[in-house]
Amino acid sequence: MINYLYDGTFSGLLSAIFDSYDRRDKAVSVYPEFLYSPDLFLDEYTVITDEQKALRVWKGLQHKLSDRWQLNMYMASFTENREEIQHLFDCIHYIFDSKQNISYNYGNEHVISVAQTARKVHKERHRIVEFLRFQHTVDGMFFAKIDPLYNVLPLVRNHFKNRYADQQWIIYDTKRRYGVYYDLHEVKEVTFNFDESLIDKKRNKLTENMVSQEEELYNNLWKDYYKSINIAERKNSKLQKQFLPQRFWKNLIEMNA
Amino acid sequence: MSSDRIREKLQILSAAAKYDVSCASSGVNRKNTSKGLGDAHACGICHSFTEDGRCIALLKLLYTNNCIYDCAFCISRRSNDIPRAAFTVDEIVDLTVNFYRRNYIEGLFLSSGIFRNADYTMERLTLIVKKLRLEHRFNGYIHLKTIPGASEDLIMEAGLYADRMSINLELPTEAALKQLAPEKSHETVKRELGLVHNKLVLYKDERKIIKSTPRFVPAGQSTQMVIGATKETDKDIMYTASAYYKGFSLKRVYYSGYIPVNDDSRMPAIGSQPPLLRENRLYQTDWLIRLYGFEVQEILNDANPHLDTDMDPKLSWALRNLHMFPVDVNTAAYEMILRVPGIGILSAKKIIQARRYGRLHVQQLQKIGISYNRAKFFITCADSPYALKDPDAVYIKKNIMDNSKSKYLKVPQNQLSLF
């Protein structure tokens, strides 16, 4: 047994695959840096992320995988769960070690795990697409903040770019402290420390002097709409929470009357 | 516009629109090619969920709740003394664009009471959609109601800008409609569904040859009927639905459990519970017909005119047809695996793919995600326990019921009776 330590990126994980073949290590446990606590009894090896190596591994995978499964692999790599990362690592080994195309072998525990992890990440991405909210600021910008379970910003930026092509917007991940900014031409990654004083803590949105004049009207109209479109006789809070998990409520004005 | 007045209008005209069930924003890929506002996703996106557990994908509005009709089941009927309002074209355009920019909605669902006459109303609705598409370069989703009795020209024009169009059957049978809404008829609905359907097919064919052919109602048509207001059987309802699915290639039929809004001795009294369980069973049947390859006659027929309340229609069907089970998941056809209670579409597909690599065992099936406690009575796999004799339907039903928690067990019994 040996522990591999990598930087937590997809390139890092692919580099780890490369190194494990290179070093002929069997029974490897992979750990992203953010989940690692040293184990005195086991050997440890630190993977140095190497884009060249990662690309070679990825090209090798592309030869063996359908488009659908390449996407599954990429999506699954966003997980922050140790066991799911291990399954992904083992699944890639399993794919390289088999002669036939085994990516649809859902009877294999690694394959089914990667498929399920990819689905989870995809679901979180979809929820951000659903429940992200922009506020219109005094300088004409549309601002949104999110705190997703996984680092899904790279997965949603194109969606918002295609959709809001004629307005400037920023989406900021408060958990990971970076954002993406669209300037009407392209989307750029921006790193800044968000000034907490710009947020009205009680209502969890931008302070009044930060938002445009009509923002309050549309906020109110939206809350009105949310109330009047509900059918009281059909009340089913359990179903509501199943579709709209409570962790998203704080960013939704309609949920905070 | 004054902000108080627009808020008041929105409250009146969205509350009046809430009984229209459809909130689908799916079925069309409208790309934002002009650097305008918005695009539409094939799979649809919900943006919020109300307390009743229903999704909000679209801004659902009536253009006006003034109506010349007097349908007994409708809150906006002309003989009701309620606050009336009408939007202007610009107000609806403005609300849609501003909600959309904030990621509140996927688009607009626009319906209306019939104001003055059908053509006048249809013309207003068309103006709104046209303005959104042409002046605001809006590519979000638009669901437009076809106004019964509107002229062919107007409907054809509207279809060039809407993604989906729909017109409601209102009640499952012509007889019931004649009784409660004598001014309406299924014949009108058929005429207009037919108009749109024919044009839609024509344009689709032409687009295959001439790329520049405009899109016409690319997300197809749907309809809705109120259930539980009149005394049809589940069989009546589903046979009607099935005929419309076949006749007009509808994308969806919606079933709306009747919520009493008017005092009328012919219908359930105000305050009685909406038939939610029945509605749920009808939707399950609808799914089985559209996606699981069932024929409506297999589920509902003269011997079984009503769906069971205590179990879903797929399980009922399986228990009535035990001679077709057990199914060997390692050899059976996809269509048959799909019919096993406890196995859904995704799992069935995975089983078909996975079994090429070796015979599947119980543990693998569980990981794939089937509901094994339900499916185990209907399948065999590589390590199925050997059964001494074939279990009977009563035994299987009891076993499944005892081991599953139905979401309806806590529902008070009075909700199960329909009248």
Q: What is the pLDDT of residues A100-117, one digit of tens each?
A: 888 889 999 999 999 999
Q: Domain end: A106, A125, A144, which one? A: A125
Average pLDDT of every residue of chain A: 92
Average pLDDT of every residue of chain B: 91
Pick A34 or A143 by higher pLDDT: A143
How close B298 comes to chain A (CA, Å)? 30
**Chain A interface test: which of B30, B51, B279 (most A C-beta within 10 Å):** B51
With left for phi above 0 and alpha for psi between -120 and 50, is residue B61 left, alpha or beta? beta
The per-residue pLDDT for B403 is: 79
With an 8 Å Cβ cutoff, are A133 and B104 in contact? yes
How close B10 comes to chain A (CA, Å)? 7
Same domain, A154 and A48: no
- Per-residue pLDDT band for B387 (boundaries 50, 70, 90) equals low
Least confident of B71-80, B281-290, B304-313, B387-396: B387-396
With an 8 Å Cβ cutoff, are A229 and B357 in contact? no
Q: How far apart are the first and last CA of chain A?
A: 55
Residue A221 has pLDDT above 60, yes or no: yes
Same domain, A92 and A113: yes
Residue A239 has pLDDT above 80, yes or no: yes
Same domain, A121 and A136: no
With an 8 Å Cβ cutoff, are B353 and A162 in contact? no
- Within 8 A of A222 by CB-CB distance, chain B residues are 99, 102, 104
Least confident of A21-25, A196-200, A225-229, B275-279: A196-200
How close B269 comes to chain A (CA, Å)? 13
Give yes or no for a contact between B72 and A251, defined as CB atoms under 8 angstroms apart.
no
Task: Using CA coordinates, name the residue in chain B closest to A98.
Answer: B357
Q: Quick check: bond before B326 cis, omega within 30?
A: yes
Q: Domain end: A91, A125, A159, which one? A: A125
- Within 8 A of A257 by CB-CB distance, chain B residues are none
The per-residue pLDDT for B159 is: 95
Give me the number of domains chain A comprises: 2
Same domain, A197 and A89: no
- Within 8 A of A108 by CB-CB distance, chain B residues are 357
Same domain, A182 and A104: no
Phi and psi, residue A72, nearest 5°: -55, -45
**B61: number of CA atoms within 13 Å, CB side?**
31
With an 8 Å Cβ cutoff, are A167 and B7 in contact? no
**Chain B interface test: which of A68, A123, A225, A235 (most B C-beta within 10 Å):** A225
How close B37 comes to chain A (CA, Å)? 6
Average pLDDT over residues B353-362: 93
Three-state DSSP at A36 gives coil
Please state, in angstroms and rounded to a whole number, the distance separating the CA atoms of residues B257 and B52: 13
Least confident of A63-77, A116-130, B26-40, B347-361: B26-40
With an 8 Å Cβ cutoff, are B368 and A220 in contact? no
Residue A124 has pLDDT above 70, yes or no: yes
Place of tokens 């909600």: B99
Residue B416 has pLDDT above 50, yes or no: no
- Within 8 A of A105 by CB-CB distance, chain B residues are 353-354, 356-358
Same domain, A145 and A108: no
Number of CB pairs, chain A paired with chain B, less than 8 A apart: 159
Give yes or no for a contact between B25 and B251, defined as CB atoms under 8 angstroms apart.
no
- Per-residue pLDDT band for A257 (boundaries 50, 70, 90) equals low
Give yes or no for a contact between B46 and B66, defined as CB atoms under 8 angstroms apart.
no
Residue among B52, B56, B367 whose CB faces A109 most closely: B367
Same domain, A66 and A44: yes
Same domain, A249 and A139: yes
Going by C-alpha positions, the residue among B34, B20, B51 that lies closest to residue B252 is B20
With an 8 Å Cβ cutoff, are B353 and A106 in contact? yes
The per-residue pLDDT for A173 is: 94
The per-residue pLDDT for B410 is: 46
Same domain, A13 and A113: yes
Residue B78 has pLDDT above 70, yes or no: yes
- The identity of residue B183, as a single letter, is E
Residue B415 has pLDDT above 50, yes or no: no
Average pLDDT over residues A18-45: 87
Residue B414 has pLDDT above 50, yes or no: no
DSSP secondary structure letters along A185-201:
S-EEEE-----GGGEET
Average pLDDT over residues B71-86: 94
Please state, in angstroms and rounded to a whole number, the distance separating the CA atoms of residues A45 and A100: 31
Average pLDDT over residues B225-250: 94
Residue B413 has pLDDT above 50, yes or no: no
**Predicted complex: ipTM over 0.85:** yes
With an 8 Å Cβ cutoff, are A104 and B103 in contact? no
Average pLDDT over residues B308-331: 94
Same domain, A53 and A28: yes
Q: Which domain holds residue A182?
A: 132-255
Q: Which helix (H) or strand (E) holds B240?
A: helix B234-248
Average pLDDT over residues B108-133: 96
Task: Using CA coordinates, name the residue in chain A closest to B8.
Answer: A224
Residue among A131, A231, A238 whose CB faces B259 most closely: A231
Residue-wise pLDDT for B168-218, tens only, equals 999 999 999 999 999 899 999 999 999 999 999 999 889 888 888 888 999
Average pLDDT over residues A120-146: 95
Average pLDDT over residues A177-196: 90
Contacts of A139 (CB under 8 A, 6+ apart): none
Q: What percent of chain B has pLDDT over 70?
A: 95
Average pLDDT over residues B241-262: 94
**Chain B interface test: which of A145, A161, A221 (most B C-beta within 10 Å):** A221
Residue among A162, A232, A242 whose CB faces B32 most closely: A162
The per-residue pLDDT for B389 is: 66
The per-residue pLDDT for B417 is: 41
- Within 8 A of B95 by CB-CB distance, chain A residues are 221
Residue B253 has pLDDT above 50, yes or no: yes
Residue A203 has pLDDT above 90, yes or no: no
The per-residue pLDDT for B409 is: 52
With an 8 Å Cβ cutoff, are B102 and A126 in contact? no
- Within 8 A of A104 by CB-CB distance, chain B residues are 353-354, 356-357
With an 8 Å Cβ cutoff, are A240 and B49 in contact? yes
Same domain, A168 and A112: no
The per-residue pLDDT for B402 is: 83
Same domain, A139 and A241: yes
Residue among A116, A214, A235 whose CB faces B51 most closely: A235
Residue B419 has pLDDT above 50, yes or no: no
The per-residue pLDDT for A231 is: 93
Task: Using CA coordinates, name the residue in chain A closest to B366.
Answer: A107
DSSP class of residue B133?
I
Please state, in angstroms and rounded to a whole number, the distance separating the CA atoms of residues B414 and B419: 9
- Within 8 A of A229 by CB-CB distance, chain B residues are 14-15, 17-18, 50, 56, 60
Please state, in angstroms and rounded to a whole number, the distance separating the CA atoms of residues B99 and A225: 11
Contacts of B54 (CB under 8 A, 6+ apart): A230, A231, A234, B23
Show the domains of chain B with their CATH numbers: 3-299 (3.20.20.70), 313-403 (no CATH)
Q: Domain end: A109, A125, A141, which one? A: A125
Task: Using CA coordinates, name the residue in chain A closest to B136.
Answer: A166
